Chains A and B, each alone.
Chain A
Amino acid sequence: MPPHTPHTPTQTSTASSSTPGPLARHHFLLRRLHSLSGIMPVGIFVIFHLFTNMQMVFPGKFQHEVAFIHSMPALLFIEIFGLWLPIGFHALLGIGYMMNWVPNTISYSYRDNWRYTMQRITAWIALVFIFAHVATLRWRLNLWGWHTPFYLDAVNHATGEVIARGDDGEPLALAHASTAMALQSSYAVLAFYIIGVYGVVYHWANGLWTAAISWGLTVSVQAQKRWGGVCAVLGISLGLFSAAAIYGAMSYEPTAQEQAAIAQLAGTDEPNIEVDHPEDHETKSPEDAGTGVSSGH
Chain B
Amino acid sequence: MIKSNKPKTLTFKIKRQDDPKSEPYWQAFDMPYRPSLNIISCLQYIAGHATTTGGKDVAPVVWECSCLEEVCGSCTMVINGRARQSCSALVDEILDETGDTIITLEPMSKFPVVRDLWVDRSRMFENLKKVKGWVPIDGTHKLGEGPQESPEQQDMRYALSRCMTCGCCLEACPQFTIDNEFIGAQAISQARYFNEHETGATLKDERLDALSEVGGVSDCGNAQNCVKVCPKDIPLTESIAATGRQLTVHHIKKFFTGK
Contacts and interface: CB of A to CB of B under 8 A. Distances in A.
B41 interface: no
Interface residues of A, number: 49
B27 interface: no
A31 B213 CA distance: 10
A23 B19 CA distance: 37
A117 to B, nearest CB: 7
Given A13-B126, A101-B221, A8 B245 contact: no
A102 B177 contact: yes
A16 B177 contact: no
Given A28-B251, A107-B82, A220 B122 contact: no
Contacts of A100: 175, 177, 180, 182, 219
Nearest to A206: B222
Contacts of A77: none
B218 A28 contact: yes
Contact of A112 (B82, B130, B175, B224): B224
Do most interface residues of chain A lie in helix, strand or loop, or is the interface mixed? loop
Nearest to A103: B174
Interface stretch (A56-64, A195-203, A210-218): A210-218
Contact of A221 (B120, B219, B238, B244): B238
A242 B237 CA distance: 33
Contacts of B214: 15-16, 20, 24, 27
A224 B237 contact: yes
B221 A9 contact: no
Interface in B181-240: 181-182, 212-225, 228-229, 235, 237-238, 240
B77 interface: no
Contacts of B126: 10-13
A115 B224 CA distance: 10
Contacts of A9: 20, 112, 114, 120, 122
Contacts of B240: 213
A213 B245 CA distance: 8
A215 B213 contact: no
Contact of B247 (A2, A16, A28, A116): A28
Contact of A7 (B20, B23, B24, B244): B20
A113 interface: yes
Contact of A219 (B82, B241, B247): B241
Nearest to B209: A28
B237 A15 contact: no
Given A10-B123, A110-B228, A104 B177 contact: no
A113 B245 contact: no
A108 B24 CA distance: 23
A6 B21 contact: yes
A237 B222 CA distance: 24
A71 interface: no
B165 interface: no
B245 to A, nearest CB: 2
A101 B175 CA distance: 5
B135 interface: no
Interface in B116-133: 120, 122-123, 126, 129-130
Given A10-B120, A102-B177, A214-B220, 7 more contacts: A10-B122, A15-B181, A31-B219, A100-B177, A100-B180, A101-B174, A214-B218
21 contacts: A1-B109, A4-B24, A4-B112, A6-B21, A8-B112, A9-B120, A9-B122, A13-B130, A15-B181, A27-B212, A27-B218, A100-B177, A107-B81, A108-B225, A108-B228, A110-B224, A112-B222, A112-B225, A113-B225, A216-B243, A219-B241
